[in-house]
Amino acid sequence: MTRALEGRVALVTGASRGIGAASAEWLAARGAHVVAVARTTGGLEELDDRIQAAGGAATLAPMDVTDDDAIAYLCRSIHDRWGRADIWVHSAFHVTALTPAPHVTAKDLDAVIATNIRATARLIAMVDPLIQPSDDPHAVHFHDAWPDKFAGAYGMAKAAQRALFDAWAHEGEKVGPKVHVLEPRPMPTAIRARFYPGEDTSRLTRPADEAARLLGGIFGT
């Protein structure tokens, strides 16, 4: 395995599990210093153990992406330490209870908007000036499909996320950063289990394999 990302700094939001954790491990294994963000401290610590065991390095940042002040402080801290980040991988999502569209509660609606829409927009605003100083800045967003029924609130939020990243990608075609909207194959994640309880997960693709396929297509294997 080459360390093609040696010296690079990679910010991964939603890094404690699933494709976010797998992406953090993949980037660290190739030499990037990973700044791992998630609400779950235990998940981050387990991630750090795996990264260190594989010879990589990470900085853990347990925080909620909806906390503007915390994210702003983190971005400033990354800038003060390294002068920039080179890669941002965004995998922080919130899934509400599955329910018919007319039954979506105000509480659930506020939660998906706060994490999946508002926080994403604020992150783009704060991360863009952090990665622009890189000589090769990249932003990666994972977009997934959702069931036609009972997942309207999640689907609404994911569509909004994609619209934000698609617009950013077109806006940066000449000046950067390079923005990638990637669609993983179905994986045995906690989010998918909410949509498809009791599914035979042996037919699904491991997050580690999807991280390698998708990120390898950008940064090389």
pLDDT per position as a tens digit, 81-139? 999 999 999 999 888 888 999 999 999 999 999 999 999 999 999 999 999 999 999 99
pLDDT at 196 over 90: no
Catalytically active residues are 154
> What is the pTM assigned to this prediction?
0.95
Mean pLDDT confidence for 20-30: 98
Q: Which two tokens stand for residue 93?
A: 């999502």
pLDDT at 146: 78
- Work out the burial of residue 175: count CB atoms within 10 Å of its CB; fewer than 13 is exposed, 13-18 middle, 19 or more buried: exposed
Residue type, 127: V
Cα separation, 37 vs 166, in Å, equals 23
Average pLDDT over residues 2-10: 93
The share of the chain scoring above pLDDT 90, in percent, equals: 87
The domains of the chain, with CATH numbers, are: 9-214 (3.40.50.720)
